[in-house]
């Protein structure tokens, strides 16, 4: 475990993933990147006005602050796109060997309607994936 990518969105599951990231990065002296993906609407390729870049920028700053308090200087990423596929692509492009992501604990109906980012990443990424619950 040399390079850890934390998928962070400010939710409670993401905060648990952040805590795991700090623990593992400290234990393994690993480099850390933090990604907060701005979702694009597939139909129009536009950003959702209720989920814009300023929201994601705040989430990244929150995660960076926590990591810095633990003595970790993270690399920050704020791309736009499909969250699951973007996390997977960025992890591969930047040679992250571990991805840590929170699980929102969606019901089977919600997963079918919305899709589960953590489930998709866990089953498709070319890296070890830790899902914090």
pTM value is: 0.86
User: Which of these, 38, 7, 33, lies nearest to 95 by C-alpha position?
Assistant: 33
The alpha carbon of 89 is separated from its chain's Cα centroid by a whole number of angstroms, namely 12
Domains, in order of start, for the chain = 3-132 (3.40.50.620)
Beta bridge partners of 46: 41
Sort strands 3-7 and 31-35 into parallel, antiparallel or unpaired.
parallel
Sort strands 46-47 and 38-41 into parallel, antiparallel or unpaired.
antiparallel
Q: What is the pLDDT along the chain (133 residues), one digit of tens a residue?
A: 999 999 999 889 999 999 999 999 999 999 999 999 988 765 555 544 445 678 888 999 999 999 999 999 999 999 988 899 999 999 999 999 999 999 865 434 333 434 578 989 999 999 999 999 8
Q: What's the token pair of residue 106? A: 């969606």
Distance CA 99, CA 32 (A): 10
Q: Which residue has the tokens 């990518």?
A: 5
Q: Given CA atoms 9, 34, 80, 53 in this order, what sign does their dihedral have?
A: positive
Distance CA 106, CA 116 (A): 7
């Amino acid at each position: 475990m040399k390079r850890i990518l934390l998928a962070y969105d400010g939710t409670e599951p993401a905060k648990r993933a952040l805590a795991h990231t700090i623990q593992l990065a400290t234990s393994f002296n690993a480099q850390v990147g933090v990604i907060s993906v701005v979702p694009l609407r597939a139909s129009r390729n536009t950003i959702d006005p209720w989920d814009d870049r300023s929201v994601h920028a705040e989430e990244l700053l929150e995660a960076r602050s926590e990591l810095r308090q633990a003595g970790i200087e993270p690399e920050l990423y704020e791309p736009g796109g499909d969250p699951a596929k973007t996390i997977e692509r960025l992890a591969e492009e930047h040679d992250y060997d571990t991805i840590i992501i929170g699980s929102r604990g969606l019901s089977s109906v919600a997963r079918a309607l919305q899709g589960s980012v953590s489930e998709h990443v866990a089953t498709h990424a070319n890296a070890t994936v830790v899902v914090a619950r």
